[in-house]
């Protein structure tokens, strides 16, 4: 599990990056969930000292390429 601290309209947002559970239709894919908001980086880092500071893309996407009218899935 990873955390990131990112700018938001509410100050700084802390996100948890993990995987969807086996019970989800997105099982095994990465997900990004808001955990909390902070006014300063110092406060956020105090609670989440190992968090990545800045935008973090969990790369939640379909393996493949969008071609023409649909997805070409690579196996």
Task: List pLDDT tens digits, range 47-70.
Answer: 999 998 888 777 744 444 444 444
Arithmetic mean of pLDDT over the chain: 81
Query: Considering the domain boundaries, does residue 70 fall inside one?
Result: no
Q: Which residues constitute the domain of residue 29? A: 2-54
50 found inside a domain: yes
* HEC per residue, 16-48: EEEECCCCCCCCCCEEEEEEEEECCHHHHHHHC
How many domains, in total, are found in the chain? 1
In a domain, 60, yes or no: no
* Cα separation, 69 vs 28, whole angstroms: 26
Structural domain includes residue 23: yes
Q: Calculate Rg over the CA atoms of the chain.
A: 16
Question: Could you tell me the CA-to-CA distances from 51 to 10, 18, 25, 37, 61 in Å, in that order?
Answer: 18, 13, 28, 14, 23
* Total count of residues recorded for the chain: 75
Q: Is the pLDDT of residue 29 over 90?
A: no
Q: Is residue 65 part of a domain?
A: no
Question: What share of the chain in percent tops pLDDT 70?
Answer: 79
């Amino acid at each position: 599990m990873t955390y990131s601290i990112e700018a938001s309209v509410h100050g700084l947002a802390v996100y948890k990056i993990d995987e969807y559970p086996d019970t989800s239709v997105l099982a095994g894919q990465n997900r990004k969930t808001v955990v909390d908001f902070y006014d300063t980086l110092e406060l956020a880092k105090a609670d989440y000292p190992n968090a990545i500071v800045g935008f973090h893309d969990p790369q939640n996407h379909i393996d493949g390429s969008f071609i023409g009218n649909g997805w070409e899935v690579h196996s």
